[in-house]
Structure 1
Amino acid sequence: MTPQWLTSIQTPLASAFYKRCGSKEKAKADERVAVIRDNSQQIVASLRLRRIGGHWLLRALLVDPQRRQQGIALQLLQFVGAQNPEPIWCFPYPHLQSLYHQADYQLVAEAPEPILTAYNVYLNRQPLLLMCCNR
């Protein structure tokens, strides 16, 4: 299983994956979408990068429930980090902190204004989120 980027034309494939896994997330053509496919070319993990005020925000990392605890999420996070020279911000749940730490994300208390604004919006909906950055 090798991570890869989807083209903007392929982003509906990620949306179909999210739906198949019971998520309401939808990939958008203006996002960078990374996936991992199994040997039959079925998507088993996906994440999205969205540009916010000149900064990258990682959103909607999801691994097929049948494939969890196999290192797939870490593989996808490491791929995206290696492929993107700019810092990537994310807002993971506390129980995922060790996963993000393994992928070189660190807890941060400060962030650029567009990221901080997005974080505060997320906090209003989901109060137990962390703020991390990989650089």
Structure 2
Amino acid sequence: MTDTRYALLDDLSWPLLNKFYRAHQSPMKAVREAQLWVARRDEIVGALCLRHVSGGHWLTGLFVDPACREQGIAAQLIDAAVSGVEEPVWLFCHPDLRGFYERRGFSFDPELPQAMAERLSRYARSKPMIAMELAPRLG
């Protein structure tokens, strides 16, 4: 099995992330003002965005190349991205993904800051969507 490296993408390389998403027909988009995390083998095989928001961080854009799924890449990518984060991390996902995120330490139906709650409400108008939170790790 090929070694997978998990790292923060440098600022100048952010277009590579959008190229990765497009290559897999994913609707995800890299957010320039976010921390862009990638899993690499010879090329990018997974990615996510971690954006600072009021009171914490918002995890978006988690996507793993379908040929590389079921290998723990998403879990390790999340771990790398949230390592050292001392504020809550929120995400919105389809209800079917609740168990996956709970196994990563996220809890369902957190109290969200107003701006995040409003955003979730807007997103949930067009598709099923739930909120999850990873509380800051102490010590």
Q: What's the TM-score, normalizing by structure 1?
A: 0.90
SS of corresponding position for 2:37: strand
Cα offset for 1:54? 4.7
In the alignment, is residue 13 of structure 1 matched against residue 10 of structure 2?
no
Query: Which residues in structure 2 correspond to 1:13-92 (within 5 Å)?
Result: 13-38=16-41, 40=42, 42-92=43-93
2:7/2:39 contact within 8 Å kept: yes
Cα offset for 1:95? 1.7
Q: Deviations over 1:29-83 (max 9, x none)?
A: 2111111001x2x000001122333531111100001111111111111111213
**2:124: which partner in 1?**
123
In the alignment, is residue 97 of structure 1 matched against residue 123 of structure 2?
no
Q: What's the TM-score, normalizing by structure 2?
A: 0.87
Unaligned runs of 5+ in 1: none
Cα offset for 1:19? 0.5
| Percent of pairs with identical residues | 29
SS of corresponding position for 1:111: coil
Which contiguous aligned blocks of 4+ residues in structure 1 show a shift greater than 4 angstroms? none
Aligned residues: 132
SS of corresponding position for 2:125: helix
**1:132: which partner in 2?**
132
Cα offset for 1:109? 4.2
Cα offset for 1:10? 1.1
Please give the root-mean-square deviation of Cα atoms over the aligned residues, in Å: 1.4
